[in-house]
C-alpha cells in the first residue's frame, strides 16, 4: 500500500470536506507532543496567543485540546489542529448561533433514524458537547486515567472507541459526538481565520490555497497554473492584519 503523506491526506480531506494544555502554553505544547524546538509546529505553539474560552469549561477544554491534537497532529514542518487554534474555533461556534441550534428542527419525535435521515437527537450542538464531554470526564475519572495523561497511542485508542459508537455518553451515542468533533476540527483547521481557527492561515499555506483574494479576473481563462501567493483572509486589512469580529458568527438573543 502506498504511504500517503500527512499533507496529501489533509489536502484531500479539505477538498471533500482522529492536565489542561491551553493553546497559549507554547513550550509545554511542543514538549508534550515531542516536537523539535525548531520545527514549524513548535514555533507556532510558542507564538500562539492564550485562548480565552467562552463556552468550554476547564475540563472540557482540556479534552478538546488533546483530542484535536490527535485528530490532526503536528509534524516537523506544519502545525496541527491545536497550534492552529481549532479549540478556539470550536469554542466560539458552540457559544454562538450554531451551538444554540438556531436552524435545527427541535419539535421531535426523537426516534432512532436511518443513516440517510441525518441528525435525530433532541440536543442542540452546545447541549450535545456539554453532555458528551461530561460523560467522557466521568468515564475517564472512573478509569483513573485522565485523557491528558494517556500516551498518544492510548488517546488514539480511546478516540477510536468513541468513533465506533461503543459508548453511551449521557444519551449521546459516542459516534455521533465523534462525528461532530471531527467535522468541527476540519472546519476549524481549514476555515477562514476570522472564525477563530486556521491561525496564521497555516492550513491554507500547507495546501496552497490562496484564500479570499478580491478578484481572480485576470486568471479566469488560465487553466492548470499554480497560484503562488500568500493567502488572504476575509477579514484582512490592507496591512495584512486579520481583524477578529466578535459578531461572527452571530450570537443568539
* Helix, strand, coil fractions of the chain, as percent rounded to 5: 45, 5, 50
pTM (two decimals): 0.77
* pLDDT, tens only, 166-207: 899 999 999 999 999 999 999 999 999 999 999 999 999 999
pLDDT average, residue stretch 150-165:
95
Find the range with the poorest average confidence among 27-41, 99-113, 181-195, 215-229: 27-41
Inform me whether the pLDDT recorded for 46 exceeds 80. Answer: no
Rounded to an integer, the average pLDDT of 108-131 is: 89
> What pLDDT was estimated at residue 208?
87
Q: What is the per-residue pLDDT for 183?
A: 97
207-236, pLDDT tens digit by residue?
A: 988 888 777 778 788 888 877 778 888 877
pLDDT tens digits for range 235-253: 776 566 666 554 444 444 4
Q: What is the mean pLDDT of residues 130-151?
A: 94
| pLDDT for res 118 | 81
Amino acid at each position: 500500500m502506498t504511504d500517503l503523506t500527512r499533507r496529501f491526506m489533509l489536502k484531500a480531506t479539505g477538498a471533500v470536506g482522529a492536565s489542561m494544555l491551553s493553546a497559549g502554553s507554547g513550550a509545554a505544547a511542543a514538549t508534550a507532543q515531542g516536537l523539535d524546538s525548531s520545527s514549524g509546529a513548535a514555533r507556532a505553539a510558542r507564538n500562539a496567543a492564550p485562548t480565552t474560552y467562552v463556552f468550554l469549561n476547564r475540563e472540557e477544554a482540556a479534552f478538546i485540546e488533546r483530542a484535536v491534537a490527535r485528530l490532526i497532529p503536528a509534524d516537523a514542518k506544519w502545525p496541527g489542529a491545536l497550534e492552529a487554534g481549532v479549540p478556539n474555533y470550536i469554542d466560539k461556534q458552540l457559544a454562538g448561533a450554531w451551538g444554540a441550534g438556531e436552524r435545527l428542527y427541535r419539535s421531535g419525535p426523537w426516534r432512532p433514524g436511518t443513516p440517510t435521515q441525518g441528525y435525530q437527537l433532541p440536543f442542540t450542538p452546545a447541549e450535545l458537547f456539554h453532555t458528551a464531554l461530561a460523560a467522557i470526564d466521568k468515564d475517564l475519572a472512573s478509569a483513573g486515567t485522565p485523557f491528558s495523561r494517556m500516551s498518544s497511542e492510548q488517546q488514539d485508542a480511546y478516540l477510536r472507541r468513541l468513533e465506533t459508537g461503543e459508548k453511551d455518553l449521557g444519551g449521546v451515542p459516542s459516534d455521533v459526538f465523534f462525528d461532530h468533533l471531527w467535522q468541527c476540527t476540519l472546519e476549524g483547521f481549514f476555515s477562514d481565520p476570522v472564525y477563530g481557527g486556521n491561525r496564521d492561515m497555516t492550513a491554507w499555506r500547507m495546501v496552497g490555497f490562496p484564500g479570499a483574494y478580491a478578484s481572480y479576473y485576470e486568471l479566469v481563462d488560465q487553466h492548470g497554473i499554480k497560484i503562488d501567493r500568500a493567502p488572504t483572509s476575509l477579514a484582512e486589512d490592507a496591512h495584512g492584519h486579520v481583524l477578529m469580529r466578535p459578531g461572527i458568527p452571530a450570537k443568539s438573543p
